[in-house]
Chains A and B, each alone.
Chain A
Amino acid sequence: MSECSHCLLHFPEREAVHDEIDGKELAFCCNGCRGIYRLIHTEGLDRFYDKRSWDDSAAGPTLPAATPEASLFEALIREIPAHEPGEPPLNEIEIYVGNIRCASCIWLNEKILSRTEGVVAARLNYATHMARIKWQPAKVELATLLERISSIGYLPKPYTESERHRAQSAEAKDLLIRFGTAAFLTSNLMIYTTALYAGYFQGVDAGMRHAMEIISLFLTLPVLVYSGYPFLRNTLIGLRSLHFTMDSLITVGAWSAFIYSVYSLFTGGGVYFDTSAMIVTLILLGRYIEATAKGKASMAIQMLTELVPKEARRLTSGSAEAVEGAETEQVALPLVKKGDLLLVKPGERIPLDGTVVSGQSEVDESVITGESRAVAKNPGSLVIGGSMNMFGSVVFEAAGTDKETLLSRIIQSVLEAQASKPRIQNMADRIVAWFVPGMILLALSTLAFYLFRGVPLETALMTAISVVVIACPCSLGLATPLAVLISSTVASSHGILLKNGEVIENVAKLTGLVFDKTGTVTTGKPVLKETLVIDDTLSAEELLKVAASLEKFSEHSAGHAIMEAAKGLHPYPVSGFHAVPGKGIEGTLKERSIVVGKASFLEERGIRVAEEIRRKVAAFEEEGHTPVYLGWQERLRGVFLVADSVREDAAQAIAALKKLGLKTAIVSGDTVTTTRAIAALVGVDEPVGGALPHEKRELVAQMQKRGERIMMIGDGINDAPALTEALVGVGMGRGTEIAMESADAILVRNRLEAVPFLVRLSKSTFSIIKQNIFWALVYNVAAIPLAISGVLHPIVAAGAMSVSSLFVVFNSLRIKKCGHSIS
């Protein structure tokens, strides 16, 4: 293991990025860190490294990012008119900066931006990673600013607050004010309560006691009426359908304590104002914790998603034959009609489904179909919206509007699965659902019993209320949120984002897992697996060198695999390079014309591929290998076999999951043979090949119908319906937008070893939640007999409350320790 000179991350030696700065040999975990180090060094800010002290290992991908188009940001620019005449007008923008992982990243971005000529102010929010930049449009363009950010490895993204997110942050703010108010009043209340307790033990002047009790009353009332208003409202709504929730428990508990105290105030008994205010305050704290955690996760997930311009290039004039130089206009996707001719350039996503009219290219359809192969497209072939155009420009005829694509049908299926997914109540809510009626029933029986015994109504009623007061466990509302908060913090430091707290409980109860193959168990990027040397006079290395010299110019995914394998070999100079989309490439090297590509392409160029070799290759093809033939001077020289590679940590992760007693299955759109081969390689029990997107969903649904509780792990659009259907959907951090939308948890670092970690963390968190709930209840329940016998005292109530709350807090903190011991 090496240590990154910049971020101190420990990482495998072979992933290191080496650099030499001022004669010092340095190793970095990524280019981003190298860029930062170099920049900090050239700016003369090296002392930063002596000053900082952190052992942050929350690494994200920090590769030098491609600058996104400035046009995507234009709508977000605000113009600030000049305050005084003569001053230049300013522009302001708020953008999200991706790939930030530590405080020094923020510091660096601020410095880099504010040192740019024309920038007036640049400030980043440490919590949300939003940058607010003010600049003079006359001096610098937005594109330059974006470039500055991406040059040091960060990714600027346009961010418009979604309606849901705005509602979430408004809710969090509302809760903060309500909680702050309650906390302020309760802490003031505690001063008087402490005095009253002291008075109870040491004796206190009756007039003074009365005064303090009245002040307590006025401090408690706003807590109940204002801070506790959301609980009160929900209780009244729930009451109509006799539905008891945590809110009803709080309302019943707090108000009964309040009413009891007001009564005692006039009759001279003990008051419970502190119990009443404390319940509301603690529960609000739990709610606020939940709300902020949720907001953070949803924003982080939104920011992981890919930028897709929701526009298309429509041909305005001329024939479709002339791809180059055709006049086009940018139109918003919903405005495209059936039959419109659309142009797609290399490197762009195909906006809609349709039929190619002119042009040739290869298209990566892996996000839709899960197949990691480039598919050749010629006039007449069908293209799928959402797939990536890799080489040539293509004009195609739209087969329908953006509502009628395969992609939107998949989205529809996701929405259906979401609607039909039953919401599983969490443990605390399930307990509350019977605890509240039970508590009320007990109070009513106490009332009946005392009345039967001939006790006056007033005394009987107060005894009954005191049962409710003592039974109400105020730490119950804190039991789950606190554990969930600590658990999500631990999870996110291991690269797992949890969308909600229910995930933890659901993961703890899993019985099986279903993995997607491409992009999840495998990397989705082909690597060179084998080289068949046909010409015995040449070495495999020599063949690789020749092929790589040509592939250097190509963008083909198989070509990348060859390039990757030839790393370190110096390529030959090549002239006259030419690529034929869907077939192969050719070029002149050492005065020989080299042909690389499909067998049919070599035959076209007069290179015969023997039947015997074809048969040999066919066996590999069945296992999911793609052959790349190499030949020159009318002879086949070698065949490269390229295949998707399994993630390094896949086998280990799956073995760990099996050890936890979980069943594993793998599902793929690829052929049965390929799926079986991969499943055998990583040790998965049940391979299912040739599955269409809706079939993946059905498979998960069937398993769950048999009573299994399934976690689905996937990355593609084709996995989205299955991710939603499963009890727990887990998306890969580099997955598609829709997959991440459908998932309950995201593996930010694309590492499968996070899955067993998540399972173990959830199991220990869930057992801590159960302990919390038990101990939150037990002190209060134990005191019920005291209340029933009519000898309940405020000291007992306060004791039960604080002991159980402290227990919940300290027990929840144990999760951090569990997180350490698991990893």
Chain B
Amino acid sequence: MWTLYLLMGITITTGTCAYLFFLWSVKRGQYEDPEGPKYRMLDDDDEIKKTPPKKRH
């Protein structure tokens, strides 16, 4: 029987983590462009860039 209690604990903990992740994603504006990612992942930037590579910092 104790396994059930353990599983309950696990589901609630992972669930809470997922929930916090959701809150974080809303605050970060992840839902503001629901269309973009499906196109951007197809846009592989393998062609030669004409602009010099940008300095990252």
Q: Contact: A184 with B35, CB < 8 Å?
A: no
CB-CB under 8 A for A83 and B32, given A107-B43, A115-B51: no
State whether B51 touches A173 (Cβ < 8 A): no
Which chain B positions have C-beta within 8 A of A120? 54
In the complex, how many residues of chain A place their beta carbon closer than 8 angstroms to a beta carbon of chain B?
Answer: 32
Knowing A184-B15, A208-B1 are in contact, say whether A127-B35 is a contact too (CB < 8 A).
Answer: yes
Q: A177-B23, A208-B1 are in contact. Are A125 and B51 (CB under 8 A)?
A: no
Interface membership of A84, Cβ < 8 A: yes
A173 and B26 contact, CB distance less than 8 A: yes
> Is residue A106 within 8 Å, beta carbon to beta carbon, of the partner chain?
yes
A180-B22, A180-B26 in contact; A188/B12 too (CB < 8 A)?
A: yes
Chain B residue nearest to A205 (CB atoms) is B1
* A-B pairs under 8 A by CB, number: 60
Given A115-B51, A126-B39, A188:B15 Cβ within 8 A? yes
| Contact for A128 among B15, B33, B43, CB less than 8 A | B33
* Cβ contact within 8 Å between A184 and B51: no
CB distance B33 to A127 under 8 Å?
yes
A126 and B36 form a contact (CB under 8 A): yes
- What CA separation (Å) do A212 and B36 show in the bound complex? 41
Query: Known contacts A126-B33, A191-B11: does B26 contact A177 (CB below 8 Å)?
Result: yes
Q: Does B6 contact A (CB under 8 A)?
A: no
Chain A residues contacting B26 (CB-CB under 8 Å) are 173, 176-177, 180
Q: Which of A103, A106, A128, A184 contacts B18 (CB 8 A)?
A: A184
Residues on B with beta carbons closer than 8 Å to the beta carbon of A603 = none
- Contact call B54/A127, Cβ cutoff below 8 A: no
The distance from the CB of B18 to the nearest CB of chain A, in whole angstroms, is 7
User: What is the number of residues of chain B that contact chain A, defined by CB distance less than 8 Å?
Assistant: 27
The answer, yes or no, to whether A806 is at the interface (CB within 8 Å) is: no
> Do residues A103 and B51 form an inter-chain contact, with CB atoms below 8 A?
no
> What CA separation (Å) do A318 and B6 show in the bound complex?
90
- Complex: A120 Cα to B56 Cα, angstroms: 11
A215 CB–B CB distance under 8 Å: yes
Q: Mark B1-34, 1 if CB is under 8 A from A, else 0.
A: 1001100100110010011001100100001111
In the bound complex, residues from chain B placing their C-beta under 8 Å from that of A51 are 42
When the two chains form their complex, are residues A84 and B39 in contact, meaning their CB atoms are under 8 A apart? no
Determine if B11 and A208 form an interchain contact, defined as CB atoms under 8 angstroms apart.
no
CB-defined contacts of B47 to chain A, threshold 8 Å: 43-45
Q: Which parts of A177-197 form the interface with B (CB within 8 Å)?
A: 177, 180-181, 184, 188, 191
Instruction: Tell me if A117 counts as interface (CB < 8 A to partner B).
Output: yes
Q: Is A114 an interface residue (CB 8 A)?
A: yes
B35-57 at interface with A (beta carbon < 8 Å)? 35-36, 39, 42-43, 47, 50-51, 54-55, 57
Name the distance in Å between A288's Cβ and chain B's nearest Cβ.
10
Q: Cα distance A107–B31 when bound, in Å?
A: 20
Bound form: Cα–Cα A317–B51 in Å: 49
Closest 8 CB pairs of A and B: A126-B35, A126-B36, A103-B39, A125-B33, A184-B19, A127-B35, A188-B15, A180-B22
Beyond contacts A127-B36, A205-B1, A211-B5: 19 other A-B pairs, Cβ-Cβ < 8 A, are A45-B47, A51-B42, A84-B57, A103-B39, A115-B50, A120-B54, A127-B33, A128-B33, A173-B26, A177-B26, A180-B23, A184-B18, A184-B19, A188-B12, A188-B15, A191-B11, A208-B4, A211-B8, A215-B8
Question: Could you give 5 example pairs across A and B, Cβ below 8 Å?
Answer: A126-B35, A126-B39, A184-B22, A208-B1, A211-B5
